[in-house]
Structure 1
Amino acid sequence: MLSNRIIELAAIISTNTEKVNGYLEAQGIPTPSFNVDAPPNLGIPKEAIEVDNARRKALAASIELQDLLQGPSACLRPVMNGTSLDAIYVYDIASKVPLYSNISFSNLAKQCELPELDLRRILRFAMCWHRVFCEPERGYVAHTAASRQLRDDPKAMDMAGLMFDECWQSMARTVDAMRTFSSSEPNESGHALAHNTKDSMFDWLGKNPEKARRFTSAISTLVPAGREAAFLPRAFDWASLGASTVVDVGGSSGGVSILLAQEFKDLNFVVQDLPEAINGAEEKVPAELRPRIKFMEHDFFTEQPIVAETFLLRAVLHNWPDHYCVKILQKLIPALRHGARIIVNDGVVPELGTLDLLGEKNIRAYDMLMMTLFNARERELEDWITLFTQADKRFKFVGVKKMEVGTMSVITVVWEDK
């Protein structure tokens, strides 16, 4: 019965919140708060998997309880109205609010060159929906922990800009793109319509350097990707490769290769990406690792020039529709020798219902975002196996291992040419 479920959910929330709170107290980590001096994240380290699982259980139960108590009709309404956060970004409102005092709506409106009525409506929406700013006394605005991030952290502002300039506008045009193109081409997406371009998003970013800078900066703030990368050394038997070379295809600034090189001393790495991605990257490599990590300009849609034992594609293929992924894999073939490994570190969508609610919502959100921006998608294991077979039947699927957190997995493929 419904009453039993809501009581059950309340108990789940209580039990798991107590676990999280007990850990925070034991570690001397501040209790969660919206106060201006509160840390931007909860502070649970990636190693504390059980505590993070308790946090996830409490969150998932909270979401389900809210949905049940609001009723089915509320589930049919849009998730939010992004206008307030969009305006806060565009008018850089956070920089105009004093950090430890407040400012009147009237004075803030003058600085922003906005009608005071509009500013009040925008900020009061943000206050109750997003915990961005607060009104400590009537008619005055002050910072919260969330708005302070926009004030002090350029990457937080970059993420806001990406979400509203690129993602939000593109979402509004995705169904139009489906009707207009009925296509899986990257340049026939919601993003293409929203920005009136015939380019794919990546090509469009290449022509807009400031947008590209903001995109790279914003993506670097995504906590799940960073947390999952930390588990990559344990998700595959890298030591079994011995003294050999790993080609990190589309490896950007080499963060993953650095991580692996620090732990596996016999491995050498070649990080390949477009010039704008690797520019200046070598300078960020620790001096003791530079002899083992090299950078090379390479477009993965062109023939692979390096013959190596292992090729790593981390978070590369999920950005592209199937037929482009097939091309990327086929361009590796001239460099492959019998027994060469292709290690794909990417999302593998689990069977429906096997994730907790929070994980299910996250993976579906990523999937829709891939569709909106790139006409790409997240894939189930069967989709991945089909992809390798389409590229060439000599790509032999060996196995998959889910990483300890998130939905990323390590898929191992071997090239069999005998």
Structure 2
Amino acid sequence: MAEPQPTLQSLAAKITELSETLTAYLRENKVPEPTFAADSPTSYSNLSPEIFMTRQVLLDALNDMWYLTQGPSESIFNYVHNCMPDAACLNILNFFDFWSAVPVSGSATYAEIATHTSLPHEVVFRVLQHAVSLRIFVEIEPGKSTSRIEHTSRSAALAKSAGLRALVSSILDDAGAPLMVMNEALRRYSQGKPELTQKMDESSFALFHAGGQFGKHGNSWDMLENDGDGEKQGWRQKNFVEFMRYVKEIFHLEGVVLDAHDWKSVGKATVVDVGGSAGHDAVVLAQHFPDLTITVEDLPKVKSSFEANLPADLKSRVTFREHDFFKPQTVQADIYIFKMILHDWPDAEAAKILQALIPALKPGARVILFEYIGNQGEASEAPQLPRSIKQMGSATDLRLMALFNGKERPVKAWKEVFRLADERFEVANVNANPQNFFAVIEAVWRG
């Protein structure tokens, strides 16, 4: 029997109930509650899994209330009218670092912000007028062109966190434009065909960059490594490293990596972290398991970030090696790990990355994938998660389609990627928990 349709009154009652549950938890556990003030906590800390899910159900109810309050047509109109200007505004604020133009505990004039950003006064005024409507910054004297500008908690969160700024840049500045030409890429390369094209040169990213006006990059990794001139070359790569560090922080991936394998039982083992960025996971593993020797592999521009991140007492056990993971692997190890790497590539390329390991693999070597799975299981097996959680997976999935013609895969699809790479990979262990968004897939080389 279908559930009854929600109404404004039923949603209001549900929102009240869920809000009281969340507020009571915050009060009982002494969790500071965010406000819009600049000195507000920037996030909820230490929510239990149960109260986290309660919050997500509350978000779903609030979204339903937002839709029904406007009505179907107006909710679409208002979304379409605002979504791109909202994103463009945030991207401009972030790109020109409006965050540091205003002291977190002070204020600034429009003229001072214009000087700091080197943008015309009129542009600064117009961008900030929209930002203020989103509670990003606030006017001390609303409506006056002479008003000074202060931070809200939303803008202050960006001023305080390099990781959050890197997230905004990576998602909006790197991936935003390709997403907006995805309709044309699909029309050209996939319409009328039974499956999405798997060719990297037929992705939305490739179409956007084909003319070279914004850099003629073959894929986003090429852009990260090479965009910019002179000392600015590779600035996107450094930004992406910070983004990955932040992702590890907000998703608590340290625990996922530590619990993925019985690291203690392997004893004096060698590990290669393929595409390991600045070595954040390698450092955690080495600190917890002193018998591990770890090589972090990534592109050349990452090396300086790695060296800055590596504690002095780990230099004898954690090293960096410049390596393109499509090239044959030359480091023989007991364990190879890939964290959020293969999901960026279509099946054929993901298989090639695994095949590149084969020259160095010894019998019994293990390959461990850490992959974001969202809610990408089959309908019959996927738990009924709140829509706000499912959107995390589906939004990432569309971004991967735009950048790589890739996709978020359910767990069983990862087994197929291993099979496609080589029948001698045997998937030995799978640990998937959609509530923490990640799956760990472990394969053993039986060559």
Q: TM-score, normalised by structure 1?
A: 0.86
Taking the aligned partners of 1:220 and 1:37, their CA distance within structure 2 comes to: 24
Q: Which residue of 1 aligns with 2:136?
A: 132
Taking the aligned partners of 2:409 and 2:92, their CA distance within structure 1 comes to: 35
Q: Which residue of 1 aligns with 2:178?
A: 170
Q: Which residue of 2 aligns with 1:322?
A: 347
| 1:329 Cα deviation after fit | 0.8
Instruction: Give 1:171-210 correspondences, 5 Å limit.
Output: 171-182=179-190, 183-195=197-209, 196=212, 197-208=216-227, 209-210=234-235
TM-superposition CA deviations, 1:154-174 (whole Å, max 9, x none): 444444443443222222122
The answer to whether residue 409 in structure 2 is matched with residue 379 in structure 1 is yes
| 1:92 Cα deviation after fit | 4.0
**Out of 389, 404, 410, which is 2:440 matched to?**
410
Q: Which residue of 2 aligns with 1:350?
A: 377
Asked whether the equivalents of residues 187 and 201 of structure 1 are also in contact (C-alpha less than 8 Å), the reply is: no
Q: Which residue of 1 aligns with 2:35?
A: 33
Asked whether the equivalents of residues 350 and 380 of structure 1 are also in contact (C-alpha less than 8 Å), the reply is: yes
Structure 2 gap ranges (5+)? 191-196, 228-233
Asked whether the equivalents of residues 188 and 200 of structure 1 are also in contact (C-alpha less than 8 Å), the reply is: no
| 1:23 Cα deviation after fit | 3.5
The answer to whether residue 111 in structure 2 is matched with residue 86 in structure 1 is no
Q: Which residue of 1 aligns with 2:52?
A: 52
**Out of 145, 151, 156, which is 1:148 matched to?**
156
Asked whether the equivalents of residues 238 and 301 of structure 2 are also in contact (C-alpha less than 8 Å), the reply is: no
Asked whether the equivalents of residues 138 and 152 of structure 2 are also in contact (C-alpha less than 8 Å), the reply is: yes
The answer to whether residue 306 in structure 2 is matched with residue 276 in structure 1 is no
Q: Which residue of 2 aligns with 1:366?
A: 396
Q: Which residue of 2 aligns with 1:341?
A: 366
Pair 373,154 (structure 1): closer, same or farther in 2 beyond 3 Å: same
Q: Secondary structure at the match of 1:204?
A: helix
Q: Which moved more, 1:245-254 or 1:106-115?
A: 106-115
Q: Which moved more, 1:36-45 or 1:179-188?
A: 179-188
Instruction: Give 1:17-28 correspondences, 5 Å limit.
Output: 17-28=19-30
TM-superposition CA deviations, 1:291-333 (whole Å, max 9, x none): 3323322221111212222221111101112111111111112
The answer to whether residue 437 in structure 2 is matched with residue 398 in structure 1 is no
Q: Which residue of 2 aligns with 1:123?
A: 128
Pair 9,206 (structure 1): closer, same or farther in 2 beyond 3 Å: same
TM-superposition CA deviations, 1:106-132 (whole Å, max 9, x none): 77668765464x65553333223x320
Count of equivalent residues: 413
Taking the aligned partners of 2:314 and 2:100, their CA distance within structure 1 comes to: 40
| 1:67 Cα deviation after fit | 3.1
Structure 1 gap ranges (5+)? none
Q: Which moved more, 1:365-374 or 1:192-201?
A: 192-201
Taking the aligned partners of 1:220 and 1:71, their CA distance within structure 2 comes to: 41
**Out of 4, 13, 16, which is 2:15 matched to?**
13
Q: Percent sequence identity over matched residues? A: 31
**Out of 231, 245, 254, which is 1:220 matched to?**
245
| 1:345 Cα deviation after fit | 0.9
Asked whether the equivalents of residues 339 and 370 of structure 2 are also in contact (C-alpha less than 8 Å), the reply is: yes
Pair 200,13 (structure 1): closer, same or farther in 2 beyond 3 Å: same
| 1:391 Cα deviation after fit | 0.9
Pair 154,339 (structure 1): closer, same or farther in 2 beyond 3 Å: closer
Q: Secondary structure at the match of 1:388?
A: helix
**Out of 255, 280, 285, which is 2:280 matched to?**
255
Q: Secondary structure at the match of 2:436?
A: coil
Pair 332,255 (structure 1): closer, same or farther in 2 beyond 3 Å: same
Q: Which residue of 2 aligns with 1:72?
A: 72
> Partner amino acid for 1:173?
V
TM-superposition CA deviations, 1:1-28 (whole Å, max 9, x none): 7565655544543444334323433444
The answer to whether residue 266 in structure 2 is matched with residue 241 in structure 1 is yes
TM-superposition CA deviations, 1:343-371 (whole Å, max 9, x none): 11112322346332122100011111112
